[in-house]
Structure formats: C-alpha cells, structure tokens
C-alpha cells in the first residue's frame, strides 16, 4: 500500500468516526429528551459525549471491519446444504 492510499484510508476512517460521534450524540440527546422530557443542559451533553465516543470508536474500529454479508452467506449456505442432505 502506498503512502497516499494509507492517508486516504485514515482520512475516511476519521471522517466516519467524527460522523459517528456526531450522530451518536444527536440521537442520544433526542432519546433523552423524548424519554425523560428533561431539559438538555451542558451536564447532560457532557455525559452524552462521554457515552457516545466509546460506542462510535467500537462501531468504526471493530464492527465496520466485519463483513456480515459474507458471514451470513456462509452460514445460510451451510444450513441449506444440511437441510437438503438425505436422511439415512
């Protein structure tokens, strides 16, 4: 991998991480407001940010790297082969 592709990949990961954090914060604030009807204060925003950051990192670093489509395809193709096997 050349240096340009490496930096482009890092840039994409960083953009998705920042976007994930921003969306996570927004959805958590909306959920708190709808569920509790409490006023949104800076203390609430601070707690939301502290909670959203680790989940955004987990989502970007771990879960976005897993190819679920391939996993499901392998799982269901094995299951279908077992279902079609003749009974002895």
What's the CA gap between 28 and 64, in Å, rounded?
A: 20
The reported pLDDT for the residue numbered 81 is 63
Domain boundaries, the chain: 3-84
**Res 82: pLDDT:** 61
Which residue, chain included where needed, has tokens 């989502």? 59
DSSP state of 85: S
CA-based nearest residue to 44, from 26, 65, 58? 26
pLDDT, position 64 = 66
Query: From CA 48, how far away is CA 29, in angstroms rounded?
Result: 7
Predicted confidence pLDDT, tens digits, the chain (88 residues) = 577 788 888 887 788 778 888 888 999 999 999 999 899 999 999 999 999 888 888 877 776 667 777 878 888 887 666 656 555 5
The pLDDT value given to residue 35 = 96
What is the reported pLDDT for 55?
84
Rounded distance, CA 56 to CA 73, Å?
27
């Amino acid at each position: 991998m050349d240096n340009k592709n490496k930096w482009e990949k890092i840039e994409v990961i960083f953009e998705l991480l920042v976007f994930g954090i921003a969306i996570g914060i927004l959805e958590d604030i909306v959920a708190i407001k709808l569920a509790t009807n409490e006023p949104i204060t800076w203390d609430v925003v601070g707690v939301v940010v502290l909670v959203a950051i680790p989940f955004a990192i987990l989502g970007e670093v771990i879960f976005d790297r897993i190819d679920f489509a391939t996993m499901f395809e392998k799982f269901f193709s094995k299951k279908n082969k077992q279902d079609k096997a003749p009974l002895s």
